[in-house]
Structure 1
Amino acid sequence: MSQTSNHYSVIVVGGGQAGLSLSYYLKQAGIDHLVLEKNTVTHTWRTQRWDAFCLVTPNWQCALPGYPYRGDDPHGFMKKDEIIAYLDGFIEMVEAPVLEHAEVRRVSSTDGGGFTVSTSQGTFTADQIVVASGGYHTPIVPRMAERLPASIVQMQSSEYRNADALPEGAVLVVGSGQSGAQIAEDLHLAGRKVVLAVGEAPRCARFYRGRDVVDWLADMKYYDMPVDQHPLREGVRDNTNHYVTGRDGGRDIDLRRFASEGMELYGRLEDLQDSVLHFAPNLAANLDSADGVYNRINAGIDAFIEKNGIDTEGGGVYEPRWWPDRERTTLELQGSGIGSIVWCIGFTPDFSWLDAPVFNGRGYPAHRRGVTQFPGLYFLGLPWLHTWGSGRFSGIARDAEHIVKTICSTREASAVSVDALTA
């Protein structure tokens, strides 16, 4: 492919921590490239987090390439402003060649090899493409939301900021994954009446036997386990994250305790009919399942401690102190006092702009450690791309370095082929 002012060896789609990490290694390798960002770099961290947001993993796991956490609280949990400051330092260090406000509208392969990239700021070409835009693109909001009264304010988790920004009245939080559980806690601590539709998300302890559970799991090499060695294999990518919090120095999130303090818990929200909300009769099962995961993780730590003869404080099993007295499956909106709803049921990927035969029936790309079978096409920053940390600060460096090494190998092989043809 001929070289033009709009041609690059590599184009990276996405200017979050994944795209910037890749740029760090591409610069080290001396490979010309361009990072295309729809908004501004690390935009999501700045605009789609609530005011009290903080990391759920300890600061020592912030290990972006060439830029590890250097603060004085490695076992603490950075708050939103501190996360942004950390990212700002990384951005300044990398000095990535980024074109901001460049929405990628189409990526297609060319007959002669390589790719054409159409954006809101013009057309570019590249020998290789790395998609580093993450996997959380389109907020999931069920169609039943269309039938809710106009008087009820609705928002998705990425739009929530704080309790004071919501109208008076009770708040229905739908979903109990990381965002749902933490937003429900934020509202509860602010004194708001919360109705929580509890899903099937698992939970884990914050601290156990004298240490953060993350520290134990790191010693147990859990974060180094590749997806193809996980008991669920690629199925682990569909798992909901465990709910826990780093707020106020870190603690468990115990929905049963919240319920004993006045939070109203229901099972999974299923439908809305004639102003009546309908819930699945699975609240008890969901709470029991979450507690089961909590205790199994701790039991694994117990086994590790015993096997290695580690001298530490004793453990124990979580025993619930609150149970639903019955499964409530309906809630009449009129009279419930609910004035707002926060949807916390996740996102779906949207790679509709990428014209390449690499996707499964759910729109997720098939790859091995980010490398697809389509020549020159890679993915980075997806959950469990390779390990648990692939979509997080802790594991992105390892994945980015691997992809750049693969790109370098491809370029070397191509150069050898050209030399052989011209010899």
Structure 2
Amino acid sequence: MERSVLVIGAGQAGLAAAYHLARAGADYSIADANRRVGDSWRARYDALTLFTPRQFSALPGLELSGNREGYSNRDEFADYLEAYASRLKLPVETGRRVVRLSRLDDGRFEATFEDGGKRQASEIIVAAGAFQVPRIPTVAGKFGSDVLHLTTDIFRNANQLPDGPVLIVGDGASGRDIAVECRRTQPVILATGKPRKLLPERILGKSIWWWLHLTGALTASPDSLLGSRVRATDAFPDRDRSLESLKRKDIRIAPRLVNADETTARFSDGSSAEVRTVVWTVGYRDDSSWLDVPLAVNEDGSFRHEAGVSPVKGLYFVGRPWQRNRASALIMGAGPDAELVVQRLLADRGG
């Protein structure tokens, strides 16, 4: 049987997989739903910057230009991905959204594209990204029709907002960034969840990411003692985003949102607030509706894999959060994870 790999998605994980497939001399192609490479980043909120400094934010084979200690913004990194695909001559086909992936009787896979076209491949690497469908809690349905709802994939900047208080639900890095942006034009309430630990941005003149890499915190497996602690903490660097800093910016900090009634948001401490807009920043879930392959998906709709290897022969994943470790959800983890997945794919062929 002729061997060819289809990589689904041309974000950082898909491009890293393509890099290692090319180095191995494998026959492969890349299909991406967007019009341009990098559009998955361009579609996110305007003020977005990467978690990690440039020195930790490059893919294998091409440095990310600029101050190594500084942080790339959304558009800069999107352009880097586009340049990466171009300079390394990676065969990305844009505007090719996969709407169904099925398994044929001969063991090959068949991808059906939105335009009705089809492509067969002996192996599939799914690199669809971790930010697919924003989660919206059921409490959202208790707000009245006068409240505008936005999610992280819709929100761009404060100019979208109608006049009136804005409630941000979720105090992760994105939620805190969006709270600061919204405060430029409107009153803001940030509804928090579990206590979060923020890390200092630098220690003894070195980036916190340098120290985390040095101590092995980024590469510890999730079932190890260190890895389980890192996962439970879910910390991110404090770049002027502590709750105290947000309070100084005149952002009201509220506990967990537990109920709503028309325009009134109610919190776990019994307090409430009148709101005009709610921005939901409570994370994402996988969209696996297109993956029509038995055993490839868990009951909750998440992709089933172990370190990127599906129980379905010939199916692999890259770019999954905690695929192998904390770095898996960061740019710095895309290259190493993709390299191991490609090695496993080639080894499975030999077997």
TM-score w.r.t. the length of structure 1 is: 0.76
Does the aligned pair in 2 maintain the 1:181–1:243 contact within 8 Å?
A: no
Report what 2:43 is aligned to.
47
Does the aligned pair in 2 maintain the 1:279–1:330 contact within 8 Å?
A: yes
Q: For residues 389 and 332 of structure 1, what CA distance do their matches in structure 2 show?
A: 38
2:71 maps to 1:77: yes
Look up the SS of the partner of 2:149 in the other structure: strand
* Identity between Structure 1 and Structure 2 (%): 31
2:266 to 273, 278, 298: 278
Q: For residues 339 and 276 of structure 1, what CA distance do their matches in structure 2 show?
A: 9
Change (3 A) 1:276 1:402: same
Q: What letter is aligned with 2:264?
A: V
Report what 1:331 is aligned to.
272
Change (3 A) 1:177 1:146: same
Look up the SS of the partner of 2:72 in the other structure: coil
Does the aligned pair in 1 maintain the 2:144–2:262 contact within 8 Å?
A: no
Does the aligned pair in 2 maintain the 1:157–1:343 contact within 8 Å?
A: yes
The CA deviation at 1:74 is 0.7
Report what 1:242 is aligned to.
235
Report what 2:135 is aligned to.
140
Q: What letter is aligned with 1:266?
A: A
Change (3 A) 1:215 1:138: same
Correspondence 1:256-271 to 2 at 5 A: 256-271=244-259
Change (3 A) 1:212 1:252: farther
Report what 1:14 is aligned to.
9
Does the aligned pair in 1 maintain the 2:97–2:113 contact within 8 Å?
A: yes
The CA deviation at 1:195 is 0.7
Q: For residues 228 and 331 of structure 1, what CA distance do their matches in structure 2 show?
A: 40
Q: For residues 74 and 332 of structure 1, what CA distance do their matches in structure 2 show?
A: 43
Correspondence 1:100-115 to 2 at 5 A: 100-115=94-109
Change (3 A) 1:376 1:153: same
Look up the SS of the partner of 1:116 in the other structure: strand
Does the aligned pair in 2 maintain the 1:105–1:353 contact within 8 Å?
A: yes
Q: What letter is aligned with 1:109?
A: R
Look up the SS of the partner of 1:38 in the other structure: coil
1:362 to 300, 303, 325: 300
The CA deviation at 1:361 is 3.3
Change (3 A) 1:111 1:236: farther
Change (3 A) 1:389 1:128: same
The CA deviation at 1:68 is 2.5
The CA deviation at 1:152 is 2.8
Q: Which runs of 5+ in 2 are unaligned?
A: none
Report what 2:319 is aligned to.
381
Does the aligned pair in 2 maintain the 1:20–1:94 contact within 8 Å?
A: no
Report what 1:392 is aligned to.
330
**Cα displacement string for residues 92-126 of structure 1 (whole angstroms, at most 9, x for unaligned residues):** 12322222222212212222212122222312111
Structure with bigger helix share is 1
Does the aligned pair in 1 maintain the 2:266–2:272 contact within 8 Å?
A: yes
Report what 2:278 is aligned to.
341
Report what 2:190 is aligned to.
196
Does the aligned pair in 1 maintain the 2:9–2:128 contact within 8 Å?
A: yes
Q: What letter is aligned with 1:124?
A: R
Correspondence 1:170-189 to 2 at 5 A: 170-188=165-183
The CA deviation at 1:275 is 4.2
**Cα displacement string for residues 108-154 of structure 1 (whole angstroms, at most 9, x for unaligned residues):** 22222121222223121111111110232111123333443333322
Report what 1:163 is aligned to.
158
2:121 maps to 1:126: yes
**Cα displacement string for residues 328-377 of structure 1 (whole angstroms, at most 9, x for unaligned residues):** x23252xxxx3322111111112122123043333333323211222111
TM-score w.r.t. the length of structure 2 is: 0.90
Q: Which has the larger radius of gyration?
A: 1
Does the aligned pair in 2 maintain the 1:22–1:400 contact within 8 Å?
A: yes
Does the aligned pair in 2 maintain the 1:243–1:253 contact within 8 Å?
A: no
Q: What letter is aligned with 2:87?
A: M
Does the aligned pair in 2 maintain the 1:110–1:116 contact within 8 Å?
A: yes
The CA deviation at 1:268 is 0.8
Q: For residues 249 and 318 of structure 2, what CA distance do their matches in structure 1 show?
A: 42
Does the aligned pair in 1 maintain the 2:47–2:177 contact within 8 Å?
A: no
Look up the SS of the partner of 1:219 in the other structure: helix
Report what 2:348 is aligned to.
410
Q: For residues 262 and 178 of structure 1, what CA distance do their matches in structure 2 show?
A: 18
Q: For residues 74 and 273 of structure 2, what CA distance do their matches in structure 1 show?
A: 37
Report what 2:93 is aligned to.
99
